[in-house]
Structure 1
Amino acid sequence: MLPDLVKLPIKQLAMHQISNENNRKLMHRTSEHQNLLDMLTRFSRDGQCNSVIVSGPPGSGKSALVQSVLQEAGKQRDFAGSVIVVQLHGLEHFDDRSTLQAIARTLRVESDLEGRIFSGTNEQLHFIISLLQSGNTETLRVLFVLEEFDLFAQRKGQSLLYTLLDVAQSRVVPVCLLGVTSRVSVGELLEKRVKSRFSHRHIRLRCDWTLDEYVAVALSLLHLSERAPTGVGAAEKNDFKRRVGQWNSNIDSLLRHDENCRSVLVRHLQIYGGRPKPLINLLSVAVALLPDGESLLTAEDFKSAQQSMLTELALPQLCDLSIVELCLLVAANHIDNGHRPVSFESVYTEYVRFCQSKMPHLQYERDLIRRAFDSLLESGLMAPASDSAGCGDLGGVALGKREEFVCLVPPEILVQGVNQYPNRPEDVRQWAARCCKR
């Protein structure tokens, strides 16, 4: 900490603490972190060619986990001296051409490709890798990190994935493939020839934290270090320690013992599961709502932050949904008032029951309703339930009875969204209103 930071208001110090990536401790990810680190260590040391998928719900900390492991592995001499990390993103590198250009740029072989014509992805990628043989191939390794891995898997022919895994098996240069995805059953997207070359390692991030674990994460994000930096006077040091101590004492009391504050965290846990990102957003908004000066957080700040998040994030999306998607959300909320996981079957049954009694013209074919349900998952308004999120391989679980989901839109926000929905049917409005009365 720089000496000048001692003079900053507590509010600014807290915002810095929450937003600083280095302070976002990956709590309760110890085993996943160690498993991935061990794999990369073996890759850098022995050249073991592996492939692994890191998956989990949106906001579960997949990318943060991968970057944390890469940062720690980079401190190892073997890794730093031999591994080239090629980071690709399915949204940015949207086709094989742009992906191959990014690979060549990272490996610094762009000039060698100028003027050459290749018959396809396979030939070009093999040529790029062969250029690395001119160096010391005994120690050189290439790690490919594919964010939004499912977008790579959805490309026609899956030539890039096949060629990467083919290069890994050829062992011309040791290659490791690390995919990151929110897709529930990404294995179902892989063609046989690709799946047969995959190592079938799967690190699934669960979000089944208890309330005490959730509170512990919040405390780690809000708690400030009371150690003042060197280079400041005794008076400034004592004042800093007093201010920070007062903040920390208030945070401990608020999160551990204040029932109103804990009820906000309970609700946040029910709505979002154990995903770190929504919790980080909640704390950031709560601190941002504080007036300038040395104000301390209260339970009301947490309530206001939660209400602000739910309103600003969910309402605009609700108004853009189709009437079928909106009705599916209402159906999910009617099942135990949205407080327990639901299956597609249970939501479908509730939806059909409503249509048969009130709006038979909305009773479309089952496949269409299923596609609407998939759309809700992709938009983040529904998500896989934490207790059904884990799977040990790339086989996945088909959307159906066995897989459970949670609705991320609470009843009162859903009712507001339905009320603002353009040309809403009155029967849907009344149906949604009953969500809050159950």
Structure 2
Amino acid sequence: MSKRKVKDAPLPVGTCISEVQDILRKRLCHQQLPDTPEGVEAQHKHLLELLKRTAVHGESNSVLIVGPRGSGKTMLLKCVLRDLLEEKEVERNLLQVHLNGLLQTDDRIALQEMTRQLHLENVVGDKVFGSFAENLSFLLEALKKGDRSSSRPVLFVLDEFDLFAHHKNQTLLYNLFDVSQSAQAPVAVVGVTCRLDVLELLEKRVKSRFSHRQIHLLSNPTFSQYLERVQTQLSLQDDFPDKTFAQDWNASVKTLCEDKSVEDALQRHYNSSKNFRSNHMLLMLCLSRVSVANPAIKPADLLEASKMCLIDAQANMLHGLSILELCLIIAMKHLNDVYEGEPFNLQMVHNEFKKFLQRKSNSMYNFEQPVIMKAFEHLQQLEMIQPVDSFSVKTQREYQLMRLMLDNTQVMEALQKYPQCPTDVKQWAMSAYG
């Protein structure tokens, strides 16, 4: 009886907070797989059946998973592989080769990686092959079982599939599709790409050997679905050690998501990016503010986190500029206003700055031309200004045409936060005319 009481006793708040942070970090940072992928049930079923036919029945297949970044392509594939490997026979027999177009930049590197992942380095040894096809068929031959009557099924996953289309003659793609079509060995080729026009990149001979199966993931949730997902991501499951704490936490999350200011902040994130991966950083920043003293996420925490996520990097860089560099930016802003966004050069900026010094400033002195040139070049290095024509080498630097890469809002917001900014510089920036 006493043991049961101890078990049912509530946990200390500090322990509960640590447990919450551990659970949510795994969910948000490690991209923990859901038990059943939401909203893509049909695609999950289709892909699972396709791969099962290769892994169990020895059929060869090829398929492309297509969708924008963050739409859940990798999550879908991982869920399918997890469900597929639950079958003992599949787990024992299926071999996997994972290639990425960003890493395997040519066919030679891809072959080396395939050999390594299939643990066939000793078999290949110092053999010299006449062609890619010969090398690949040797690898697949080496995978045959002892009786040599059947080969182990191999799953090839090509991430960033469109980048493999840029390899010379598309040899890798041609040979993988050729093997899958001719049924030389049980092979499944799964390409993962965010290019909707990926088939246009393939050569005719490659396209003719591809099965033309495509699984599309077009993530376009409504705002209410987005809000619901945020609540689900932050909520605790029923198996949390302290039931009372979990109920209180989930109630606080529900209240948080119903708050009007929170809804407005999440609406801004939703408008900028509808994929759920992008809001993980926001939720992680909220989670980092949870402590024993603050045992729940409050609206103020989410609003502060939202402000940090949406912070403008370029406007932030303005805070580190010298007063001279800031004045040059303001002069450019005025030139943009007067000439309606037409490009400018250093001479025009310098003249605008001189006008300000003559008319309005009591707190600044005139800088020498080389100093102004140096400040101007520094702004170009920071990519706050960029040349209109990068090939105009013959033009003197003072007369090279430039564009300002900041808009007026960014300049004005940065100016408000600039430490100890002279009043007349602020007034100059706010004035309608330079």
**Fold shared, TM-score > 0.5 on shorter chain:** yes
Bigger drift between 306-315 and 152-161 goes to 306-315
Structure with greater Cα Rg: 2
Residue 266 of structure 1 corresponds to which residue in structure 2?
267
CA distance in 1, matches of 2:94, 2:313: 40
CA-atom RMSD, angstroms?
3.4
Residue 351 of structure 1 corresponds to which residue in structure 2?
none
Residue 252 of structure 2 corresponds to which residue in structure 1?
250
Please tell me whether the aligned partners of residues 60 and 180 of structure 2 are also in contact (alpha carbons under 8 angstroms): yes
Residue 28 of structure 2 corresponds to which residue in structure 1?
18
Residue 402 of structure 1 corresponds to which residue in structure 2?
none
Deviation at 1:217, TM superposition (A): 1.8
Match of 1:43 among 54, 60, 66: 54
Are 1:84 and 2:95 an aligned pair? Answer: yes
Aligned residues: 331
Deviation at 1:128, TM superposition (A): 1.0
Percent of residue pairs identical: 31
Distance change in 2, residues 1:137/1:21 (3 Å): farther
Residue 119 of structure 1 corresponds to which residue in structure 2?
130
CA distance in 2, matches of 1:34, 1:45: 16
Residue 237 of structure 2 corresponds to which residue in structure 1?
225
CA distance in 1, matches of 2:250, 2:239: 13
Q: What one-letter code is carried by the residue in structure 1 that aligns with 2:270?
A: L
Deviation at 1:69, TM superposition (A): 1.1
CA distance in 2, matches of 1:69, 1:5: 39
Are 1:29 and 2:40 an aligned pair? Answer: yes
Deviation at 1:68, TM superposition (A): 1.5
Deviation at 1:181, TM superposition (A): 1.4
CA distance in 2, matches of 1:297, 1:64: 27
Please tell me whether the aligned partners of residues 215 and 265 of structure 1 are also in contact (alpha carbons under 8 angstroms): yes
Q: What one-letter code is carried by the residue in structure 2 that aligns with 1:67?
A: K
CA distance in 2, matches of 1:47, 1:316: 57
Q: What one-letter code is carried by the residue in structure 2 that aligns with 1:242?
A: T
Deviation at 1:431, TM superposition (A): 6.6
Distance change in 2, residues 1:312/1:357 (3 Å): closer
Distance change in 2, residues 1:55/1:281 (3 Å): farther
Q: What one-letter code is carried by the residue in structure 2 that aligns with 1:167?
A: V
Bigger drift between 77-86 and 307-316 goes to 307-316
Q: What one-letter code is carried by the residue in structure 2 that aligns with 1:206?
A: L
Please tell me whether the aligned partners of residues 89 and 146 of structure 1 are also in contact (alpha carbons under 8 angstroms): yes
Residue 359 of structure 1 corresponds to which residue in structure 2?
342
CA distance in 2, matches of 1:14, 1:206: 26
CA distance in 2, matches of 1:317, 1:69: 45
Deviations 1:149-206 (A, max 9, x none): 1111111111011111111122121111001112232112111111111111111211
Please tell me whether the aligned partners of residues 87 and 144 of structure 1 are also in contact (alpha carbons under 8 angstroms): yes
Query: Higher helix share goes to which structure?
Result: 1
Q: What one-letter code is carried by the residue in structure 2 that aligns with 1:244?
A: A
Q: What residue ranges of structure 2 are gaps of 5+ in the alignment?
A: 1-6, 319-336, 346-378, 387-401, 414-434
Q: What one-letter code is carried by the residue in structure 2 that aligns with 1:60?
A: S
Please tell me whether the aligned partners of residues 91 and 151 of structure 1 are also in contact (alpha carbons under 8 angstroms): yes
Residue 200 of structure 1 corresponds to which residue in structure 2?
212
Bigger drift between 156-165 and 78-87 goes to 78-87
Deviations 1:262-290 (A, max 9, x none): 222222221112x1211222211221233
Q: What residue ranges of structure 1 are gaps of 5+ in the alignment?
A: 230-239, 319-353, 363-416
3-state DSSP class of the match of 2:98?
Answer: strand
CA distance in 2, matches of 1:110, 1:12: 40
Please tell me whether the aligned partners of residues 51 and 177 of structure 1 are also in contact (alpha carbons under 8 angstroms): yes
